[in-house]
Amino acid sequence: MAEQTDARHADPGTDEVPDFDADPVAATIGTPISDELRAGRFSPSDSAYDYLRGTAGEEQVQMDADERRFIRRRSLKLLAHLSQGVRAKLLLTVACVLIAQAAQASTPMIIAWAIDWGLPRMTEGEMIGMWLPGSAYVVAALTAGLLIMAYTRMTASVSQQMLFTLRGEVFRQTQQLSLDFHEEYTSGKVISRQTSDLESLRELLDGGINSLVQGVMFMTFTAISIWIMDWRSGLLLLAVAVPIGFLGRWYQLRSEVAYRQTRISSARMIVHFVETMTGIRAVQAFRRETARSRQYRRLAGAYRDDMVHSLGLFGILQPTLMALGNLTVTAVLVWGGFRVLSGDLDVGILVALLLATKRVFQPLDMIAMFYNSLQSATAALEKVSGLLEEQPTIEEAEEPEHLDSCAGEVRFADAAFRYTEDGPTVLGPLDLHIPAGQTVAVVGTTGAGKSTLVKLLARFYDVSSGSLKLDDVDLRELALDDHHRHVAMVTQEAFLFSGSIRDNIALGRPDADEEEIVEAAWTVGAHEFIASLPEGYDTDVSSRGGRLSAGQRQLISFARAFLADPAVLILDEATSSLDLPSEQLVQQGLQKLLGHRTALIIAHRLSTVTIADRVLVVDHGQIVEDGSPDELIAAGGYFSRLHAAWETSMTS
Ligand SMILES: Nc1ncnc2c1ncn2[C@@H]1O[C@H](COP(=O)(O)OP(=O)(O)OP(=O)(O)O)[C@@H](O)[C@H]1O
């Protein structure tokens, strides 16, 4: 069963993860993105494209024009929303870029002015011919320099702020999404969204947008200056814009598909990497290193090929643009030269025209680069906005009922469950009443439905039909906070977060004081071994010295659950066998933990079953035996055979 369950009692504000609800910087950003997305405000409402909503269309590489428009609208709205808190700064940045680029583009005109107006005056001894154009040049250069400095800093702050918001939102969203989403989407894909996709966006926001606005403005102003100096050369420039437009469109269509493909292959590679690392014990135990490496090389190879392909497209775009630029400069030079000879054009203007024409194409390089990172970031944004659009299947009821105190009575009434709408019914329909305070052991063959039964009570899923009630309140109507407070789960893994033993126990109740933490550890029998560690409760569980045995980890998770003090306890017992002393220790801890609570335990040990008040045998999603351990042994069914087998294994 999943480890996320232990995090249910974690206080989101106590670890290194920023608490977005309390963070003043994040608060300036406005409504959290995911809520907006969930409200359906980011995607067009047209249900014809439902197959592209959320993460559903993530693997689709080829898209028609309508599909592209649908996805793009979602991405753009996300960007617009991200920019909400920083719009004033963004506008100021654009104003600075405009003025700086106008100042830069004016320099060839100043040179033309200096040659055609200033030089003749200087030869006649009028120094104004030098001072005036000279001063104008210095003012233009200084203005451009200072403003470039200002907008470079502002862009960095705007883009980092937007990414900060997005990072937090992706993290928050992935934590909020229900378990069924995570079971399908895998943590590798989430990691790929949070790392490589956000990195693509960073590249675009950090440098790309800057280059685009700067480049476009510079080109526009330079083109205007060319028109002002000589409209015929301006026409020539316009003619060259036609093939450039076609080239741009060609690149756009191809690179969009190519970059979408790179996002997919990059995610596959990361998924494989994360799976191998999280399953490293199994990989090494089954000697799968070579096979996993081979598979990783194949995926990394596919990513390399996709990247080479998309960069190859850029390799065609960039030199072609440069060649077109150089051809235009040659045309201006040859044509302008003849016109100077015929007295149709001043020399100063020709020099300025050549300078300007050469410079008008310079930003194309930058813009092409921008386009490259734009395509990569667009593909990333498609995926990230899809993830943010996902809705948790378990949500707070509109008017939730509250349970201030809870006795712990559980009732399944005609309850049935299937994982997918069209999938098979894996549990029920069944009726089951567990009175408050009863300890129930659940046993059965693998795949029988034991985990499903307890997952429903932990509300990882809701029943597909019938009802499941806690103290007579339907879980779907019960406030989520109250459910989390009254129902706790201890998972097989006994997952410990990096940090001290104290912090790990305190996850059960973050406001607990030292005395309560020690008391919880003492009650479940964990205090002795914790106190014997050199750093006691301060021992870092992820450090070498703090490495704990399976039994010790279980005791810590018991202490955590004891501190949380839920009315209902769900326990998925670890299947791994402990040595006898550890088993006894864990068993004693378990008994203390159970106390007078209602408990549902997926039991893998005979010792656990014997302390239960009642045993349920689950088979093919139905409860086929139900009674006290003694009754079931006497009945001679599945449980009695299992019991006999356990006893034999204990004595052999
Ligand atoms: N996320 C899921 N999506 C679809 N089917 C699932 C999912 N999880 C479990 N199932 C199916 O539901 C059935 C019951 O599974 P469940 O995990 O509840 O069994 P179990 O009794 O806990 O088994 P085990 O002892 O092996 O953990 C099985 O047929 C299983 O294949």
**pLDDT for 185 beyond 70:** yes
β-pairing verdict for 598-602 and 427-434: unpaired
Atom of ligand 1 nearest to the CA of 444: 21
Question: Which residues lie with the beta carbon below 6 Å from any ligand 1 atom?
Answer: 183, 419, 426, 444, 446-452
- Atom 23, ligand 1: residue with shortest CA distance: 447
C-alpha 59 to ligand 1 mean position (Å): 26
> What are the structure tokens assigned to 88, written together?
């004033």
**CATH class of the domain whose range is 33-41+59-389:** mainly alpha
Q: Which residue has the CA at smallest separation from atom 2 of ligand 1?
A: 419
Whether pTM > 0.80 for this model: the answer is: no
Q: Which of 419, 453, 642 to mutate to test the pocket of ligand 1 (most atoms within 8 A of CB)?
A: 419
Residue 9 predicted with pLDDT over 80: no
611 CA → ligand 1 middle, Å: 26
Residue closest by Cα to atom 26 of ligand 1: 446
What is the atom index within ligand 1 of the atom nearest the CA of 184? 1
Distances (CA, A) of 416 to 178, 431, 459, 462, 594: 19, 9, 14, 10, 28
Quick one: pLDDT at residue 15? 39
Name the residue with the closest Cα to ligand 1, atom 7.
419
> Edge-to-edge, what's the strand order for the sheet holding 427-434?
427-434, 410-417, 465-470, 473-474
Q: Residue 491 Cα, ligand 1 centroid: separation in angstroms?
A: 16
How far CA 295 is from CA of 235, 279, 305, 646, in Å, comes to 56, 15, 15, 41
Contacts of 447 (CB under 8 A, 6+ apart): none
* Selection from 366, 384, 359, 379 nearest residue 209 by Cα: 366
CA neighbor of 443 nearest in space, from 230, 311, 617:
617
Residue 273: Cβ within 10 Å count:
17
- Tell how far the Cα of 21 is from the centroid of ligand 1, in angstroms: 36
Strand ranges across the sheet with 622-627: 487-490, 568-572, 598-602, 439-444, 614-619, 622-627
Find where tokens 């996320």 sit: 4
Of the listed ranges 199-208, 235-244, 287-296, 330-339, the one predicted with least confidence:
199-208
pLDDT average, residue stretch 90-114: 86
Mean pLDDT of 79-91: 84
CA quadruple 14, 17, 22, 23: dihedral, nearest 10: 140
519/371: higher pLDDT: 519
Lowest model confidence (mean pLDDT) among 53-57, 230-234, 414-418: 53-57
Beta partners for residue 614, in sequence order? 440
Tell how far the Cα of 452 is from the centroid of ligand 1, in angstroms: 6
Q: How far apart are CA 646 and CA 605, in angstroms?
A: 8
Give residues with Cβ within 8 angstroms of 206, minimum separation 6. Answer: 155, 156, 159, 160
d(CA 228, CA 370): 29
* Interval between CA 190 and ligand 1 midpoint (Å): 23
Lowest mean pLDDT among 432-446, 528-542, 581-595: 581-595
Kindly tell me if the per-residue pLDDT of 347 is higher than 80: yes
Could you identify the residue written with the tokens 């689709």? 60
Options 3.40.50.300, 3.40.640.10, 3.90.1210.10, 3.30.1490.20; CATH of 437-457+487-651: 3.40.50.300
138-147, 365-374, 488-497, 522-531: the lowest-pLDDT one: 365-374
Nearest-CA residue for ligand 1 atom 12 is: 426
Q: Does 11 have pLDDT greater than 70?
A: no
pLDDT at 433 over 90: yes
Per-residue exposure over 209-234, b if at least 16 CB sit within 10 Å of its own CB, e if not: bbbbbbbbbbbbbbbbbbeebbeebb
- Which residue ranges does the chain devote to CATH 1.20.1560.10? 33-41+59-389
pLDDT of 414? 94
Q: What is the C-alpha separation between 349 and 333, in angstroms, rounded?
A: 11
Pocket residue to mutate for ligand 1, from 452, 600, 618, most atoms within 8 A of Cβ = 452
Q: Atom of ligand 1 at shortest distance to CA of 448?
A: 21
ipTM here: 0.96
Cα 425 to averaged position of ligand 1 atoms, centre (Å):
11
| pLDDT reported for residue 568 | 94
Q: In the chain, count H helices and then E strands.
A: 25, 10
Cis peptide upstream of residue 24 (ω within 30 degrees of 0): no
Percent of the chain with pLDDT over 90: 20
Residue 619 pairs with which residues in a beta bridge?
A: 622
Q: Please tell me the predicted confidence (pLDDT) of residue 579.
A: 64
Structure tokens at 373: 């990172």
- Which ranges in the chain are annotated with CATH 3.40.50.300? 437-457+487-651
Q: What's the pLDDT at 205?
A: 80
* CA–CA separation, 284 and 286 (whole Å): 5
Q: Which two tokens stand for residue 272?
A: 């494989």
Most confidently modeled range among 187-191, 269-273, 581-585: 269-273
**How many Cα neighbours within 13 Å face the side chain of 262?**
24
Best residue among 4, 181, 451 to mutate for probing ligand 1's pocket (most ligand atoms within 8 Å of CB) is 451
Protein residue with its CA nearest to atom 17 in ligand 1: 451
Q: What is the pLDDT of residues 209-257, one digit of tens each?
A: 667 777 787 788 888 888 888 888 888 888 888 998 898 888 888 888 8
From the alpha carbon of 183, which atom of ligand 1 is closest? 1
Say how far residue 366 (Cα) sits from the centre of its chain: 30
Which residue's CA is minimally distant from atom 4 of ligand 1? Answer: 419
User: Residue range 489-495: average pLDDT?
Assistant: 78
Ligand 1 centre from 455 Cα, in Å? 10
- Distance (angstroms) between ligand 1 centre and the Cα of 448 equals 7
Listed ranges 22-31, 256-265, 373-382, 426-435; the one with the highest mean pLDDT: 426-435
Confidence of residue 411 (pLDDT cuts 50, 70, 90): very high
| Ligand 1 atom nearest to 455, measured from its CA | 18
pLDDT band at 2 (very low <50, low <70, confident <90, very high): very low
Confidence at residue 18, expressed as pLDDT on a 0 to 100 scale: 39
207 and 371 Cβ atoms separated by less than 8 Å: no
**Whole-number Å distance between alpha carbons of 272 and 295:** 8
Report the pLDDT value the prediction gives residue 275, as an integer from 0 to 100.
Answer: 86
Count of all residues that appear for the chain in the document: 652
| Angstrom distance (rounded) from CA 51 to CA 382 | 14
What average pLDDT does this structure show over 552-558? 86
Q: Which helix (H) or strand (E) holds 439?
A: strand 439-444
The alpha carbon of 470 and the centre of ligand 1 are apart by a number of angstroms equal to: 23
C-alpha 287 to ligand 1 mean position (Å): 27
Q: What is the residue-averaged pLDDT of the chain?
A: 82
Contact 566, 597 (CB under 8 A): yes
Task: State the pLDDT at residue 10.
Answer: 36
Atom of ligand 1 nearest to the CA of 180: 1
Distance in Å, CA 621 to ligand 1 centroid: 10
Out of 443, 445, 450, mutate this one to test ligand 1's pocket (max ligand atoms within 8 Å of CB): namely 450
Specify the pLDDT at position 651: 66
Query: Of 417, 426, 572, 618, which is best to mutate to test ligand 1, by the most ligand atoms within 8 angstroms of its C-beta?
Result: 426
CB under 8 Å to 495, separation ≥6 — which residues?
3, 6, 7, 557
Beta bridge partner(s), residue 465: 416
For 350-359, the pLDDT digits (tens) are 888 888 888 8
The answer to whether 497 and 507 are in contact (CB under 8 A) is: yes
Phi, psi (deg, nearest 5) at residue 493: -70, -20
Question: Which token pair is 408?
Answer: 């712990």
What amino acid is encoded at 550 in this protein? A
Spatial CA neighbour of 389 closest among 83, 174, 189, 199 = 174
pLDDT, one tens digit per residue, over 292-330 is: 999 999 999 999 999 999 888 888 888 888 888 889 889
User: Which ligand 1 atom minimizes the distance to the CA of 449?
Assistant: 18
Question: Alpha carbon of 183 to those of 118, 150, 476: distances in Å?
Answer: 75, 47, 21
Q: Which residue has its alpha carbon closest to ligand 1 atom 22?
A: 451
Determine the pLDDT at residue 303.
93
Cα–Cα distances in Å, from 597 out to 268, 275, 364, 413, 652?
Answer: 45, 37, 71, 21, 35
Judged by DSSP in three states, 285 sits in helix
With contact defined as beta carbons under 8 Å apart, do 463 and 471 qualify? no
